[in-house]
């Protein structure tokens, strides 16, 4: 398919999605913040969001960004910026990973493994920092900072049945938290650059505190779907971003695209399934496993007990919102602990989504509630090549394995930051969600419209047929952008809010 017909088809899709609309508020929780019972009790291992996109050109850098991909994984939800004296950080007891599947089997072919180490420079002090924090290039260290965290990043690539590990960097600095103007002045210009590390070969990395880039009206959602204004205007405006003023811990990795593809080539054909990778992130904790075995002592057999440490996965995230609104509460912990290769067991949650029935009950949209092959394709197996949407394929390989992965077709050129539209593929941008995920993409609104059936008919299913079916494409939570502007240079996630500048408005007096 030529590029002009593809753009025309995507444009038609965008118009159809807007015209086909009614609405429900955001039924969704924060993308993956406290989404399952067990991980809600383990915040430093809680993976909140994953982003993957082909990097737009940035003339301010020496990198050829058009040939790199940026992978971002965030952890530790709802970080209070003023959380001293023990400010938030990565856990030394968690193994954080960004994983890439380029064969479509649901197993990682490339893994980027991060391990952190924290040191207290002066254990006898209660202070996080003893004065204004600076950076000394001679010693390559921060000055007046008591709590210092460094990390190691290792790339593990699978070659057939073998896995080869290569340490990309050791002793890499994380930046201090943004405490305030007295402790961390000129935070963005002086303290963040030393924490951006060149890994060689066109790769670089950053790990540290950033503003939470996800945006959603959680307060209205969980107060029995309350609105800030009258619908349908409430679906596009008037929402309150519940994550305003909160930070997260960000791992941002930028690597050559050829490091990620199955054959090491630079993709050019958006209909080629080899152009697609699947990205997800995990967190693992060490667990002691007890066992027993028999040994022979002389002529006698004895049973001895043993204990050894293994890494157990406690969190994973690929597609946003899946564990939140598709997986039942009784299976959420199991989902977090499992591998994407086994996600076929959850297929019914995609093809018979509970949320579609909720939308229909509230607004009589008439969204399909069974056989949702459109949601299965978008979220679980990938959009097939030469599809009716005119969109780039997000299917990995010729056999579509059911697996929760953030699928990214690396062939379409990236849209410049200033031109990116929050509705991604629905707005005709081939590099936008659900093809990968950019920071600007409004996954709440896009996902709600998809569940309501905005993409059902083009993918071969009946269109919504309820009384208010014409309104299905207006679904949204009324929050359309992040509270802080994203950066147009690496690591792209907005500068974290400082503890000194944090303000939580006093609520009205309770009746």
pLDDT digits (tens, 9 = 90+) for 475-491: 888 899 999 999 999 99
Average pLDDT estimate for 259-285? 96
Residue 133, classified by CB atoms within 10 Å of its CB into exposed (0-12), middle (13-18) or buried (19+), is: buried
Provide the 3-class DSSP secondary structure of residue 135: strand
pLDDT value, residue 224 = 52
* pLDDT confidence band for 68 (50 / 70 / 90): very high
pLDDT of residue 510: 63
Strand partners, 165: 156
> Environment class of residue 160 by beta-carbon count within 10 Å: exposed (0-12), middle (13-18) or buried (19+)?
exposed
**Mean pLDDT, the chain, integer:** 87
Residues 435, 415: Cα–Cα separation, whole Å: 12
The lowest-confidence range among 98-102, 192-196, 238-242, 341-345 is 238-242
Could you tell me which of 82, 58, 80, 83 has the C-alpha nearest to residue 68?
A: 58
pLDDT beyond 60 at 36 = no
What is the spatial distance between Cα 450 and Cα 367, in angstroms, rounded to a whole number? 10
pLDDT, mean of residues 403-412? 97
Q: Say if CB 48 and CB 32 are below 8 A apart.
A: yes
Predicted TM-score (pTM) of the model is 0.89
pLDDT digits 0-9 by tens, 451-460? 999 889 888 8
Task: Please check whether residue 433 is in contact with residue 441, taking contact to mean a CB–CB distance below 8 angstroms.
Answer: yes
Is the separation of the CB atoms in 167 and 134 below 8 Å? no
27 pLDDT band, cuts 50/70/90, is very low
pLDDT at 12: 36
Instruction: Tell me what the mean pLDDT of segment 375-379 comes to.
Output: 94
Query: Taking Cα atoms as reference points, which of 460, 438, 434 lies closest to residue 449?
Result: 434
Indicate the range of 118-127, 162-171, 198-207, 358-367 predicted with least confidence: 358-367
pLDDT average, residue stretch 281-292: 87
Give yes or no for residue 7 having a pLDDT over 70.
no
pLDDT at 30 over 70: no
pLDDT at 414: 95
Element (H, E) at 167: strand 162-173
pLDDT band at 25 (very low <50, low <70, confident <90, very high): very low
In the predicted structure, residue 57 carries a pLDDT above the cut 80 = no
The angle that helices 443-451 and 354-363 make with each other, rounded to 10 degrees, is 80
- Run of H or E residues at 158: strand 147-159
Residue 177 has pLDDT above 50, yes or no: yes
What is the distance between the alpha carbons of residues 204 and 254, in angstroms, rounded to a whole number? 5
Bridging pattern class, strands 276-297 and 300-317: antiparallel
High-pLDDT (> 70) share of the chain, % = 87
Does residue 273 register a pLDDT over 90? Answer: yes
Average the pLDDT over 214-242 and give the result.
75
Q: In DSSP terms, which residues pair with 49 in a beta bridge?
A: 74
Q: Higher model confidence: residue 23 or residue 153?
A: 153
Confirm if 269 and 275 have CB atoms less than 8 A apart.
yes
> Which of 277, 350, 314 has the alpha carbon at shortest distance from 105?
277
Q: What's the CA angle centered on 458, arms 453 and 464, to 5 degrees?
A: 30
| Cβ density class 281-313: b for 16+ within 10 Å, e for less | bbbbbeeeeeeeeeeeeeeeeeeeeeeeeeeeb
Predicted local confidence at residue 33, as pLDDT: 61
User: What is the model's pLDDT at position 1?
Assistant: 47
Cβ 477 vs Cβ 444: under 8 Å? yes
């Amino acid at each position: 398919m030529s590029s002009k017909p593809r753009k025309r088809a995507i444009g038609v899709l965008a118009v159809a999605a807007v015209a086909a609309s009614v609405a429900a508020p955001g039924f969704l929780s924060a993308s993956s913040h406290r989404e399952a019972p067990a991980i809600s009790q383990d915040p430093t291992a809680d993976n909140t969001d994953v982003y993957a996109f082909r990097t737009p050109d940035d003339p301010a850098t020496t990198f050829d960004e058009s040939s790199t991909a940026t992978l971002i994984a965030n952890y530790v939800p709802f970080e209070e910026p003023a959380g001293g004296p023990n400010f938030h950080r990565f856990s030394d007891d968690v193994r954080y990973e960004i994983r890439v599947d380029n064969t479509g089997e649901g197993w990682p072919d490339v893994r980027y493994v991060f391990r952190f180490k924290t040191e207290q420079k002066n254990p006898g002090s209660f202070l996080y920092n003893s004065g204004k924090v600076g950076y000394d290039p001679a010693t390559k260290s921060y000055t007046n900072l008591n709590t210092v965290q460094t990390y190691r990043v290792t790339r593990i690539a699978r070659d057939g049945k073998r896995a080869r590990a290569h340490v990309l960097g050791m002793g890499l600095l994380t930046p201090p938290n943004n405490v305030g103007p007295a402790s961390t002045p000129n935070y963005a210009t002086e303290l963040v650059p030393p924490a951006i590390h060149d890994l060689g070969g066109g790769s670089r990395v950053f790990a540290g505190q950033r503003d939470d880039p996800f945006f959603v009206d959680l307060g209205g959602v969980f107060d029995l779907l309350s609105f800030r204004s009258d619908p349908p205007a409430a679906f596009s405006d008037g929402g309150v971003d519940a994550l305003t003023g909160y930070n997260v811990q960000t791992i941002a990795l930028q690597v050559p695209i050829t490091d990620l593809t199955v054959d090491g080539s630079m993709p050019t054909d958006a209909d080629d399934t080899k152009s697609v990778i699947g990205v997800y992130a995990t967190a693992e904790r060490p667990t002691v496993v007890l066992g027993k075995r028999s040994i022979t002592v002389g002529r006698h057999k004895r049973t001895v007990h043993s204990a050894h440490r293994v890494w157990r996965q406690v969190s994973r995230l690929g597609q946003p919102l899946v564990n939140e609104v598709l997986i039942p509460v009784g299976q959420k912990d199991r989902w977090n602990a499992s591998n994407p290769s086994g996600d076929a067991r959850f297929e019914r949650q995609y093809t018979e989504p509970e949320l579609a029935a909720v939308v229909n009950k509230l607004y009589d949209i008439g969204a399909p509630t069974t056989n949702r092959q459109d949601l299965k394709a978008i979220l679980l197996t990938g959009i097939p090549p030469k599809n009716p949407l005119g969109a780039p394929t997000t299917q990995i390989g010729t056999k579509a394995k059911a697996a929760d992965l953030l699928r990214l077709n690396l062939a379409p050129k990236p849209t410049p930051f200033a031109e990116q539209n929050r509705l991604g593929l629905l707005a005709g941008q081939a590099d936008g969600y659900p093809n990968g995920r950019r920071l600007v993409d409004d996954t709440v609104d896009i996902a709600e419209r998809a569940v309501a059936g905005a993409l059902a008919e083009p993918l071969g299913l009946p269109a919504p047929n309820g009384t208010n079916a014409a309104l299905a494409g207006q679904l949204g939570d009324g929050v359309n952008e992040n509270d802080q502007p994203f950066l147009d240079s690496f690591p792209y996630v907005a500068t974290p809010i400082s503890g000194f500048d944090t303000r939580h408005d006093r609520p009205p007096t309770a009746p």
